[in-house]
Structure 1
Amino acid sequence: MDVVLAELVERGRGLVTRSVAEQVVPEWILQRARTNGELVRVLPEVFAAAHLLDEQGGRACTSPLSRIGPDLGRRAVAAWLRERGAFSHLTALDVWGLRAQLPGDLLHVSAPVASGLRNWPGVRVHRRRHFTLVPPSVLVRQGLPVTTVERALVDSWPMLSPGEQRTPMIRAVNDRLTTPGRLQTALDQTARVAGRSTLRTLLARLADGCRSPLEIWGHERVFTGPGMPTFQRQVRIRLGRRNVYLDLYAEPERVNIELDGATTHGDPRQREIDLRRDAQLAALGILVVRFAHRRLVREPETVRREAVAIRATRRPR
């Protein structure tokens, strides 16, 4: 490869655009690099070093863009967009750190109708009316233009399998990237969303304070309903220099019910952390009662009765 062109590709960390290359080398130099198999066009006007392409064509994909890693692929798309669009949908979830895309996955961008962008092998362009490319609609994250986390989550909801849908939503709220209220606003502003009623139910549970699939299960099938007193969810308590959040807290009786997920079962380190926290809460007069995933799922009525009985024993006489 021409020395000057090779330096441009190195500076671009494996990428170069036609507009940048033709500022310093003749067009025939770029063309020769393509003919010699040193550069591959992955998008209009965007070229990648050929040695960076997966020779196996991961997951039987034939698009050159789909044969480079996700990070390089996103940078290539950003160079192609030239401020005419932003990453959205499942690709935006990846940029926000909520769900990783795999090599060969379709990259999603949103753009105004008048942008002139069209689908390209490996890229899906979602053209939208009234879509603007400035804050608050589009932000910059990891150096890339991306739709807001709320928009990305709502747009991605119909694209995910039922078993995957809740995880990015719950994680975004737990990581304080958004709130149930902001997600509800984004949903209300979206005309058509497949599975809207299911999403509304999830957002209602998140607004109630549920912060895991197990807590949602407990809310719907165990800790609400006739005879079950009201609990506060995700109550913040100061322990030394840190804050902890109580799953279900009955303040009058000072009882905290913790729901232990299946992944924590048998983890000695997590068990030690939990016991230390429980002891600190006990010093404040708060009784901690833990119910394991297995019991919640298999014995919901027994757990209900135990929770009611424990609260009753703690009531002032």
Structure 2
Amino acid sequence: MGIRQLHDRLLRRVEPLTYDQLRRLASERAIADAVRAGRIVRVLPDAYASSVHAESWVLRMQAALLWAGPSTVAAGSSALAAWGALAPPPNVSISVPWETRPRGPAWVSVRRHVHMPERCWPPRRIPTVPPPLAVIQAHGELPSSRRAEAVYAPVREGIVTVAEIAETLAAMPRARGRRELERRLVAAEAGAESYLEEEAGTRVLRGVPFAHLLRQHWVHVDGTSYRLDTFDPATLTAFEFDGADAHSGPAARQRDAARDARIASVGILTVRFTYADVTDRPEWCRTIALGVLATRSQHPEVQMDVPPVADPPEKAW
């Protein structure tokens, strides 16, 4: 088999091969020529692949597992990526037995364990640490701007529960960012499903005036079910917190408007706050929310004990 034939064969395989496996496909000379020509690259020691796929996260993850030994599993954000909860990270994170000391390139992060965690198998068939442990590891290793999603995404996807994460965390003597993670788990247990909802719960809808609100409440209108971020049954008011990605653009705004109109047909008013509103001026959002509840509670059929609210501050935008 020549260089071209060997490369064409590897092009159809997004997985690493050992040198012995390559030798079953081609001669030593053909392999050496393919490597010199840049058609085949050594991703890690004794892990070869087509140069076309050399930057693939899936291939790099498999190469790390092959290189570090049979007990190796994906860890942290890499494990959550294998479960489909997070986008593949720029680096690969693995867990290995304590006595193993693999030294690889900077894009491989190695965690050593005296007692190896249980091996789990997500649909991608990449072995990982258990999802609760993966969440804790990822939360500690990711930059602050991405930590929240390491908790909320796998919980939203049903990969792990808040209780399972909390139980695993309680059994760990040390965990990077423990206090932040514990606060985040409290927010998730209260119903937050994203960083924006976490911020809304701690900075906007906080305290006694909002304690009665229902989080992640489902309503059924005209044959369609809608989930409300926060709902007040006494005043039929829904508060929605719109992330920058899911609610931007004309199509998203039209979809939100149609949803709000359908829900309004049964008497529920939807009040929307943007990501910038919640993160940049939470007290303004709080003032608006209190004012809406106070006004709607004045309906003769509804009685609520909501403190008086001053006019929201004027601001030029």
Please state how far the C-alpha of 1:91 moved relative to its aligned partner: 2.0
Does residue 268 in structure 1 map to residue 250 in structure 2?
yes
**CA distance in 1 between partners of 2:123 and 2:247 (Å):** 36
In the alignment, what sits opposite 2:81?
Answer: 94
- The CA distance in 2 between the partners of 1:144 and 1:31, in whole Å, is 30
In 2, distance between residues paired with 1:202 and 1:31? 52
TM-score, length basis structure 2: 0.77
Shift of 1:166: 1.1
| CA spacing shift, 1:83–1:264, aligned 2, 3 Å | closer
- CA distance, structure 1, for counterparts of residue 297 and residue 19 of structure 2: 74
Aligned to 1:143: 125
CA shift for structure 1 position 199: 1.0
What CA distance in whole angstroms lies between the structure 2 residues aligned with 1:274 and 1:39? 50
Contact 2:117–2:129 (CA<8 Å) still a contact in 1? Answer: no
Runs (5+) with no aligned partner, structure 1: 54-66
Q: Which residue of 2 aligns with 1:46?
A: 47
Q: 1:11 to 1:81 in 2, by over 3 A?
A: farther
Cα–Cα, structure 1 residues 300 and 282, in superposed 2: closer, same or farther, change >3 Å? closer
How far the C-alpha of 1:101 sits from its partner, in A, is 4.2
Distance in 1 of aligned mates of 2:200 and 2:104: 45
Amino acid at match of 1:16: L
* Residue type at the aligned position of 1:312: S
RMSD across aligned C-alpha pairs, in angstroms? 3.3
1:91-140 Cα deviation digits (max 9, x unpaired): 223323344346xx4321112335x4613224233221221453xxx223
Partner amino acid, structure 2, of 1:271: R
In the other structure, the counterpart of 2:186 is 204
User: Which residue of the partner structure matches residue 264 of structure 2?
Assistant: 282
Residue in structure 2 matched with residue 21 of structure 1 by the alignment: 22
Q: State the alpha-carbon separation in 1 of the partners of residues 186 and 291 from structure 2.
A: 26
2:71 corresponds to 1:84: yes
Q: CA deviation at 1:144?
A: 1.6
TM-aligned CA distance change 1:265 to 1:110, over 3 Å? closer
Corresponding pairs, count? 297
**Other-structure match for 2:102:** 118
User: Match for 1:316 among 302, 305, 313?
Assistant: 302
Q: SS of the residue aligned with 2:197?
A: helix
Equivalent residue, structure 1, for 2:306: none
8 Å CA contact 1:84, 1:133 repeated in 2? no
Q: What is the letter of the counterpart of residue 67 of structure 2?
A: W
Cα distance change of structure 1 residues 112 and 238 upon mapping to structure 2, 3 Å threshold = farther
Superposed counterparts of 1:47-196, under 5 Å: 47-49=48-50, 51-52=51-52, 68-81=55-68, 83-101=70-88, 105-113=90-98, 116=100, 118-121=102-105, 122-134=107-119, 138-196=120-178
The DSSP-based 3-state class of the residue aligned with 1:230 is: coil
Q: 1:25 to 1:188 in 2, by over 3 A?
A: same
Q: Does the 8 A contact of 2:132 with 2:160 survive in 1?
A: yes
Q: Give the % identical residues.
A: 24
Pair 190,243 (structure 1): closer, same or farther in 2 beyond 3 Å: farther
Q: Which residue of 1 aligns with 2:215?
A: 233
Say if 2:237 and 2:293, in contact at 8 Å, map to a contact too. Answer: no
Residues of 2 paired with 1:293 and 1:133: CA distance? 39
Question: Which ranges in structure 2 are unaligned for 5 or more consecutive residues?
Answer: 304-317
Tell me if the contact between 1:158 and 1:194 (Cα under 8 Å) persists in the aligned partners: yes
CA shift, 1:24, in A, is 6.2
